Amino acid sequence: MKQAVVLVGGLGTRLGERTRTVPKPLLEVGGRPFLDYILDELTRYGSIESILLLAGHRAEQVVGQYDGRPWRAATISVITEPGQLGTGGALKHAAPRLADRFFLLNGDSFFDFNLLELAVEAARSAATVQMALKRDQAGDRYGRVLLERDVVRSFLPAGAQPNGPVNSGVYCVDRRILDLIDEVPCSLEQRVFPILVAREQLRATLYDGFFIDIGIPTDFARAQVEMPAALCRPAVFFDRDGVLNVDKNYVHKVEDFEWITGAREAIKLCNDRGYLTFVVTNQAGVARGYYGTDAVHRLHDWMACQLAEVGAHIEQFQYCPFHEEGVVEEFRRSSDRRKPAPGMILDCFKGWPVRIEGSLLIGDQPHDVQAAIAAGIEGHLFAGGDLSSFIRPLLRA
């Protein structure tokens, strides 16, 4: 799925004076608008190309700050409601712009889990809505979701049960849902979801991970401290040739690419455990004239598609095309990004919220480990076999 839709139109009355002049998702958390964290999360997967913000209350502020902006590889558009339409009405109003299937998120909550895994589960179930549930969130504030395997059977109101799964406000949605919205205002939760439950077309998947809803003052205050800390994550850096794919000397064509056993599963394991994941690869074949940078990008785009099929992703593919003995003048020089120098790793530190403690690199050559040590992280040599089995004991829970 290449589209995400974020509901940012609510009034936020429980936050009192804070939201009288500012939309709730634009309130600052840790020095940034809360919505920025959601946009960062959506775009780190690389597959989202279009993000629609469905705005209502103080919509002009959302338009002014976000409409038309690029966010990593995605483009943001704002659709303004003509009035308070409710969550379902906002979707109906945006109908001409909606893809056949899309991610849908509440703009006042954040859930840190593997979003692509939800898309894979949605494709398997063919449900109209596949919802992500926080496995257990203690407290009387939340309603609970009752499941029979992965089928949603009912919803319990807030306070009815002190623990159990809660709706995180993140969904994979089929546009067939629009057929159930026959009048506005309309609430997805109150009017549409009960119909889907009766038809067994509302499925759910349980996930762990950091979750917060800023809808009440105590949780808004808690978010100020917890969000920036929770989203600074350790990372796994993968060398490419010899680690993710069989090294056949200067691999640059899809037809020559062969995944190492367990490579895609290893990356997904890192995603599921909450690690940021990067590829850092020397590509001297560019400097030597064997292929161009466009070939590198094509192959990495293909790898990303292959990974998405199993619910996995790479945050960023870093490569170094330079070599001091190159024949292509543009790339004939030394570079602090070429391993054993740590430049590619350090550039990831600069561009992403990487926590150095707990981060590691997997390579197949001594210069990979040297680059890791120079960057201040652990380096591990992979000698072949199943990559997922190799990396599993190196990751924290």
Active site residue 239: yes
pLDDT in tens, 111-134: 999 999 999 999 999 899 999 999
**Active-site option among 108, 112, 239, 368:** 239
pLDDT score at 192: 97
pLDDT band, very low/low/confident/very high, at 138 (cuts 50, 70, 90): confident
Q: What is the mean pLDDT of the chain?
A: 96
Predicted confidence (pLDDT) at residue 369 exceeds the cutoff of 90: yes
Report the pLDDT averaged over residues 226-230.
Answer: 93
pLDDT score of 136: 87
pLDDT tens sequence across 278-319 = 999 999 999 999 999 999 999 999 999 999 999 999 999 999
Cα(346)–Cα(375) distance, rounded to whole angstroms? Answer: 7
Q: What is the pLDDT of residue 160?
A: 86
pLDDT at site 81: 95
pLDDT digits (tens, 9 = 90+) for 251-283: 999 999 999 999 999 999 999 999 999 999 999
Where do the H-state alpha helices sit in the chain?
34-43, 59-66, 86-93, 115-125, 193-198, 217-230, 263-272, 284-287, 293-308, 343-351, 366-375, 387-391
Q: What is the pLDDT of residue 161?
A: 85
Three-state secondary-structure class, residue 369: helix
Percent of the chain exceeding pLDDT 90 equals 94
Work out the pLDDT band at 240, boundaries 50, 70, 90.
Answer: very high
Share of the chain above pLDDT 70, in %: 100
pLDDT (tens digit per residue) in 40-81 = 999 999 999 999 999 999 999 999 999 999 999 999 999 999
* Model confidence band, residue 163 (pLDDT cutoffs 50, 70, 90): confident
Q: Map out the domains of the chain with their CATH numbers.
A: 3-230 (3.90.550.10), 235-394 (3.40.50.1000)
- 397 pLDDT band, cuts 50/70/90, is low
Q: What is the C-alpha to C-alpha distance for residues 53 and 90, in angstroms, rounded to an integer?
A: 10
In tens, the pLDDT along 327-338 reads 999 999 999 999
Residue with tokens 């919505």: 35
**Rg (Cα) of the chain, in Å, rounded?**
23
Whether the Cβ atoms of residue 269 and residue 394 lie closer than 8 Å to each other: no
**Residue 137 banded pLDDT, cuts 50, 70, 90:** confident
pLDDT of 361 reads 98
Catalytic-role residue among 241, 272, 301, 368: 241
Please report, for residues 6, 42, 257, 268, 372, the alpha-carbon distance to residue 280 in angstroms, rounded to integers and kept in the order given: 32, 22, 17, 17, 11
Closest-CA residue to 5 (of 82, 128, 138, 107): 107
Q: Give the range among 1-5, 85-89, 137-141 with minimum mean pLDDT.
A: 137-141
Please state the rounded mean pLDDT for residues 11-34.
94
Query: If you average pLDDT over residues 198-212, what whole number do you get?
Result: 96
* CB proximity list for 35: less than 8 A, separation 6 or greater: 6, 8, 25, 26, 53, 66, 107
- Give the tokens for residue 41: 């999360």
Candidates 112, 1, 6, 98; CA nearest to 47 is: 1
161 versus 98: the higher-pLDDT residue is 98
